[in-house]
Structure 1
């Protein structure tokens, strides 16, 4: 087809010049182009050839949301957007070449920002960042001192807030007679102030928590919470 004196590409979409042999194509999606070539000898039938321009999806890297962690608490990062991943710096990471490395942080760190470079199978890449703030506090469990189960979307349940805790053995609540009214082993699950579907009257209840931190150290705490109607 190089003997032709004139050329025409179809479709003409996304070509800088459809009337030359080697136009630049910038289609947004995979497109098949047909080249017709006309010779100088008046041949009534043009020569034709076909080429497929394959367009891979754009790589969009995502490194996750900025987060906080307690010293000694493992934190699993999670990137997405491609097939290969490279994190930097490698500080605290168990493997900087996977999408979901685990980071562990020491007392000499206040915060760290990671960059992850995400690439697809043909080498197209993008990058993203995530910041980790490191809290230097001892592992503990916080429980609010009061809650108002009135279905207004604010403080309707009382639940443990775990900091640097790996496992919740139990969170239990008792009434003033020592009767168990609620218990759970699930993090972030709380009591809505009801027993058997009936909302309890205003009063003070005793809570107890048993948990373990990431070093296996057991923690036991107890206190009171006031139900306010």
Structure 2
């Protein structure tokens, strides 16, 4: 059986305060109310057998409101009903009356969930707001950690910090939808996830961080750190900073402090953070936790056992999650949290030995991005059930296509560069001109490719292995802009080089002026088809050198001015 217990204790801080061994886990977060008012919430999971547990329901935690290190105000949180807590012990039905929450003489460690909250009105905006819990209460106890922790040198007093930047917008912390009371067994692969769900739709980044005491980081025992807090089988520790999934196989019996920090980003900017602290207790037991993996996907491609990829388009995505338990005969209960809007997980035969489920989602108007939900699996192991939470991700790939056309030159073809979003590989594309296919390439491994094409208008259609389709139009122009005059001409009537014309390509507008050595303008034209015939005022101009000014605007909008000399010959 899997026993991982989170034990956070109220320790002795002052002479009139006492130790209290009654915390399995603590969450600290806040919720926007209105104006500058925020509701601060602390959720504590208490050990019903703790020596000071009776005082727990009579003690209110103290929260400090600060701008960076500057204390603005403080106040005690109030109890949310029921004041004496709600039992959440993961116990099998046969032992419901044998927990220490129900029967002080019971043999099953009982767990109760207590919720405290209060509204605080902030004094305006700041990017350095902090909501701080330093372990203080209004009762006879101080919140300390268990002295039995195996991964730190000194347990210290519990400290949790939530941050807020309300300079651009209001914000609510994500809510932790799983309870911090997992029980794990040594040498059994397991998963834990806080199940953080953010109502604002912000991007969440998860970290395993050092515990705090007196606003300093705790000192960890040799071989341990905030990022690596557990004694695990080599190579069997994976932490996912995108969805908070912690997968590991514990190597020894242990009581290890694990601290989550969840940061929220909105439009790329950090807007807030919150924390969960718990003690992971690994026991000598042999229960395997049930687990479920994605199969039979439709409208999406399975990337791995917990992730599918699909296109941002109007279609349906569905897949199965049918959990199994390596311990035959155990029943499995599934609970889903954080499902994307308008999606559903239909569970059949829940709380049996073989429940099944089908996820479905109409992707109409769903923007590109990663969407994560959580499923908690609990068996009926006795006396303590084994439980683990798994994150599942639907990765929605954008279908925009980026086309860059390099103009053709006078002698060379142009170039069309085609770029797809990340996650499209492998992919291919076709190029059409006047509805006729002129180019086709497949199995492209990079995001960007291209090839030479003659000038013209093209339609590009790209597809990938997911069935995503992206289309776009591109125009390869001609950049062959030439405008010049000969350095001499001979208007002698022999039919050869008798007229001085502007020569060039891609010319839209022209203005030619020719001057004699006295500065008189002897010819002017704004028409490419009208050249100088070597006459001025109806008379034959003398043989000599003439100056010219040439102004040209090309078809692409480019404008140039040139000047020089041309010699009139006979």
What TM-score comes out, normalization by structure 2 length?
A: 0.18
Q: Which of the pair is proportionally richer in strand?
A: 2
Higher relative contact order (CA 8 A, sep 6+): 1
